[in-house]
């Protein structure tokens, strides 16, 4: 496809979990494609620095405090975005956490944290975004785009990964449920499932012997580059994906094979 079809000029994108990793990368990517971006996270100083960087580079960005486990915080973030830039017509529900451990050992509170952030947080973020889009006329414009960040672990099994992987499979199906509900309301919902990428969440693991062995077990014996997600993210956010909703796609360089 032509690069112009991925243009996000005139769009407003709100991204959760934007203080580091994938969220920060998506914010820079969307800003470069012409979108005004709202970057949200609990670590406000980090998203503030990211917004300053984007604004200094000629883009348009707003930093907001956003805790996806707190519905009031989500609503406040959308209120701030709407007041400053307008109603977001692209929402990336990206915030997530990992609590590694064998299922027989993982504390109940750790499991609750994973579910509250990785599933409930995605649910509440997407729902609030959809409510705003519908009120702003998404049925007529067909501009609504919601992207959920899943994981290839939704289709895999591994010791010590049950809590995280289960929530990511739930997110995959949630995306299809939302897509069905909002199909006639001009909102497309899709899920991108990245492979293993070196980020703040699990970067140190890949420097351990266990992490190196995991990399060696993959067909191409390498981590996925974060830039590998760019084309698909821009596609899902742009007008090019007008007739694509309810889908999920893995971008993992063959790691899940």
Distance CA 125, CA 40 (A): 11
Distance CA 240, CA 225 (A): 23
| Residue in 6, 123, 164, 196 annotated catalytic | 164
Q: Of 223, 73, 7, give the one whose Cα is nearest residue 95.
A: 73
Residue 127 half-sphere exposure, CB side, CA atoms within 13 Å?
Answer: 13
Residues contacting residue 75 through CB under 8 Å, at least 6 positions apart: 128
Please confirm, yes or no, whether 164 is among the known catalytic residues. Answer: yes
Query: Which of 80-87's residues contact partners 24+ apart within 8 Å by CB, and which partners?
Result: 80/38, 81/12, 81/14, 81/38, 82/132, 84/38, 85/12, 85/36, 85/38, 85/60, 86/12, 86/36, 87/12, 87/132, 87/133, 87/135, 87/136
Which residues are known catalytic residues? 164
């Amino acid at each position: 496809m032509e690069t112009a079809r991925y243009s996000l000029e005139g769009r407003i994108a709100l991204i959760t979990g934007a203080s580091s990793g994938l969220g920060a990368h998506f914010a820079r990517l969307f800003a470069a494609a012409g979108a005004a971006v709202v970057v949200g996270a609990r670590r406000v100083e980090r998203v503030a620095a990211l917004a300053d960087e984007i604004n200094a580079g000629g883009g348009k960005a707003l930093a907001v405090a956003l805790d996806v486990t707190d519905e009031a915080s989500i609503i406040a973030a959308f209120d701030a975005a709407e007041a400053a830039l307008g109603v977001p017509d692209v929402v990336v529900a990206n915030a997530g956490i990992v609590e590694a451990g064998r299922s027989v050992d993982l504390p109940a509170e750790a499991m609750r944290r994973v579910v509250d952030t990785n599933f409930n947080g995605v649910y509440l973020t997407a729902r609030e975004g959809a409510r705003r889009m519908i009120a702003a006329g998404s049925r007529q414009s067909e501009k609504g785009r919601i992207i959920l960040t899943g994981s290839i672990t939704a289709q895999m099994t591994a010791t010590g990964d049950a809590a995280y992987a289960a929530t990511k499979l739930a997110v995959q199906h949630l995306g299809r449920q939302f897509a069905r509900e909002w199909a006639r309301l001009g909102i497309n919902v899709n899920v991108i499932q990245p492979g293993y990428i070196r980020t703040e969440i699990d970067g140190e693991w890949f420097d351990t012997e266990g992490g190196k062995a995991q990399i060696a077990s993959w067909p191409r014996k390498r981590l996925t580059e974060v830039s590998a997600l760019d084309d698909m993210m821009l596609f899902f956010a742009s007008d090019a994906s007008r007739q694509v909703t309810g889908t999920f796609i893995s971008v993992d360089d063959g790691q899940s094979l």
